[in-house]
Amino acid sequence: MTTSTGSPAMRQPDGAERPPHSASPSAPPARRTPWWRRPWIAPLAFVAVAFVGFSMPPYLTGDPDQARVPMPEGVAFYYPVLVAHVLFASVAMIAGVFQVWPWFRGRFRKAHRVIGRVYVFAGCVPAGLTGVIVAVQTPTGPVAQTSSVILSLLWIVFTVTGFRRARARRFAEHRRWMIRSFALTMSITTNRFWGAMAWFILEPRMETTFEGSRIAFDYAISGLATWLGWTVVLGLTEAWLQLGQSRERRARAGRRRASRSAA
* Segment 213-257, tens digit of pLDDT: 999 999 999 999 999 999 999 999 999 999 988 888 887 778 777
Residue 128 lies in a domain: yes
Residue 152 lies in a domain: yes
pLDDT at residue 98 in the model: 94
- pLDDT above 70: residue 32: no
pTM of the model: 0.81
Position 77, amino acid: F
Residue 191 lies in a domain: yes
Residue 12 lies in a domain: no
In Å, how far from its chain's centre is CA 102? Answer: 16
Number of DSSP helices (H) and strands (E) in the chain, helices first: 9, 0
Among 88, 85, 89, 114, residue whose Cα is nearest residue 99? 114
- What is the span of the domain harbouring residue 124? 41-262
Rounded to whole angstroms, how far apart are CA atoms 221 and 212? 14
Residue 21 lies in a domain: no
Question: Within a 10 A sphere around the Cβ of 253, how many other Cβ atoms?
Answer: 12
Question: Within a 10 A sphere around the Cβ of 94, how many other Cβ atoms?
Answer: 19
Question: Which residues, listed in sequence order, are joined to residue 17 by a DSSP beta bridge?
Answer: 11
- Number of structural domains in the chain: 1
134-189: pLDDT as tens digits: 999 999 999 999 999 999 999 999 999 999 999 999 999 999 999 999 999 999 99
Q: DSSP 3-state assignment of 109?
A: helix
Residue 201 lies in a domain: yes
263: confidence class by pLDDT, cuts 50, 70, 90: low
Residue 53 lies in a domain: yes
Residue 222 lies in a domain: yes
